[in-house]
Amino acid sequence: MLSILAFCIASSVLPYRWVYVQTNLQVPKNADMLIELIPRAKRAGYNGIVLADTKLQRLDSVPDWYFANARRVLAKAKENQIDLIPAIWPMGYASAMLGHDVNLIEGMPVQKAPFVVHGSEARPEDESNLLANGGLEQTAQGKLAGLSMQDGPGVSSIPDPQVKHEGAQSIRMENFHQGNEAGNARLVWTVPVRPHRQYRISAWVKTQDLRGYVQVTALDETGRSLTINDLPLTGTRDWSQIQMSFNSLQNRQVRLYIGVWGGKAGRIWWDDVKLQDGGLLNVLRRAGCPVEVASDKGETFTEGKDYARIEDPKLGATPWAGEYEAEHQSPSLRILPNSRIKNGQRLLVSFFHAKTGPNNQAAICLSEPKTAEVMRDELQRVADLFHPKGFFWSHDEIRVGGWCAACLKTGLTPGGILAANARLGAQIQNRIQKGSEIYVWSDMFDPFHNAVDNYYLTNGTLAKSWEGLSKDAIVVNWNSGKAKDSLSFFAHRGNRQILAGYYDSPTENFKPWLAEAAKVQGVVGVMYTTWVGNYDDLEAFAKVAFTRNDDGSMPFGKARSKSPLTTSSQTEPWVAPRSTVSPCHPDKR
């Protein structure tokens, strides 16, 4: 071991010197770009490319030219002695995995929601707008009636009878810092809700040269966001309707916020804001998401006999399989001929519905048995194509989990469920390609990052998720916000670490993190990590991260390794922002 350490220090070579590449090899020009990048990376001192391509989750359906492009890239990597490391299993950004079965998205529970039968169908008992003055029509001296808070009435939130979607007026927001020191312009309702129900929020919006963060969010009594959706509303756009859903969980009251945070310039108009029962919107059908229909007197009815199979034909289908939206009409519950269910009868319906996160981010259920089948199939196909030395697990930012019956049946916390999935992943990988290395994003296994209590919409604590990681797993650490604590935590566990740095920021910003890394054992590499495909600083980052300085010193401090060198050359603390750009589709991650 001492000789290995001495070699690392003397040669200033870290075993893992990687470039992170998000792309779509189905597009020939993307393959050409990567083929050009590989020798450049080699000249700069890198020895690995991490390939993040959502087509790797769909190798059973890609065209033949995808494989031809992949083979061209592999040949160039081999020619340059560059390891090609495929990224697999994006459990928190699972749209491509969910394309195999859209019902595998994590589900949230609706319990005994009242429906009423009207002829041959049943719909929610009350589909009216739950917001007082949701039409934004009732004002006095610029102040809206029915709200619990309004920033800058008459100053930054102003009734506008000239520009409106319908009715007599809209509310225009502008002059943000005149109405609020922080530049916020918000309308807030405090609304009674029923526990464990799905609700849909809708609003009409129009913008003009807008610069600011637009948000529509429902908060529970603790301040936890139940919506966790982003709204990319900037610049200028005509009237359009936004819609999203949320689950009330155990809450009997929520605070609904709409508006602009940190507004800098421009205008936004709001009109016709609604909060309604979401009904069977995006209802899920899998073993871990059972459906029950009963009378309000306790009689249970039979699917296929008393009522038709309950499903949402638009679940996970728009704009392509594995993508979810809340903009379509929720399906009704259809009553069959000769049913025991009678016209006018009140029913209590229990089910699970899909819930997405920011930018429609979809998490796959970690407990449903079919998820394991999808994982096995994906890894086998990727292994057959690339035969890599290791696989990069994309287990990052899993923001919804632990709610469905499959998860509850395990008796585990979300942390325990994630640990079990990590053990399963290691077993699958070892069976398919024994001896291959595991690389995994740090955040969901890091108690100083996302492995915490009630992370976004996880049902409890993610603590002890790290217990599912073998000490042989190499952690790709991106927690620069709490570098000292995070690096020390994984070092004490015995996990080797690779620092995922850069994030499209000045390369000098990486130096403090390197200084912290030099204080712990087992940091064996660095990765140039760009979320926008910017490779302009590839050489500059290499110089900062792993090239010997002119005076002979190492920018990394004392290199330390716990293994031989490779043979081939929100609760979240602040870190560099993760991308929302898709390698497959420009408007998706």
Calculate helix-pair angle for 28-44, 64-79, nearest 10 degrees: 10
187 located within any domain: yes
Is 18 contained in some domain?
yes
For residues 85 and 165, state if they share a domain.
Answer: no
Same domain, 149 and 92: no
Domain boundaries, position 213: 139-277
Average pLDDT, the chain: 91
Domain end: 252, 277, 302, which one? 277
Sorted by sequence, the CB contacts under 8 Å of residue 382 that are 6+ apart come out as: 56, 59, 86, 88, 388, 391
CA–CA dist 209, 231 (Å, integer):
16
Residue 571 lies in a domain: no
Instruction: Domain count for the chain, please give it.
Output: 2
Q: Do residue 375 and residue 271 come from a single domain?
A: no
| Residue 345 belongs to a domain | no
Give the pLDDT score at 70.
Answer: 98
State whether 452 and 514 are in the same domain.
yes
Same domain, 376 and 500: yes
441: its two tokens: 């994003």
Residue 551 has pLDDT above 60, yes or no: no
Residues 52, 153 within the same domain? no
Q: Among candidates 158, 513, 535, 451, which has minimal Cα distance to 526?
A: 513
Question: Is 294 inside any structural domain?
Answer: no
Q: Which pLDDT belongs to residue 13?
A: 73
Q: Same domain, yes or no, for 271 and 404?
A: no
Based on its alpha-carbon atoms, the radius of gyration of the chain, rounded to whole angstroms, reads 26
In a shared domain, residues 471 and 392: yes
Residue 582 in any domain: the answer is no
Q: Is residue 207 part of a domain?
A: yes
For residue 66, give the nearest of 30, 39, 12 by alpha carbon: 30
Q: How confident is the model at residue 548 (pLDDT cuts 50, 70, 90)?
A: low
Reported as a single tens digit per residue, the pLDDT across 365-380 is 999 999 999 999 999 9
CA distance 374 to 57: 9
Q: What is the CATH number of the domain that holds 389?
A: 3.20.20.80
> Both 57 and 149 in a single domain?
no
Domain stops at, among 255, 277, 299: 277
Residue 88 shares a structural domain with residue 147? no
CATH of the domain at 143: 2.60.120.260
Asked whether residue 572 carries a pLDDT value surpassing 70, the answer given is: no
Shared domain check, 144 and 60: no
pTM for the structure as a whole: 0.91
146-181: pLDDT as tens digits: 999 999 999 999 999 999 999 999 999 999 999 999
Do 67 and 158 share a domain, yes or no?
A: no
Task: Give pLDDT, residue 341.
Answer: 98
**Is residue 20 one of the residues assigned to a domain?**
yes
Q: Which of 247, 277, 307 is the last residue of a domain?
A: 277
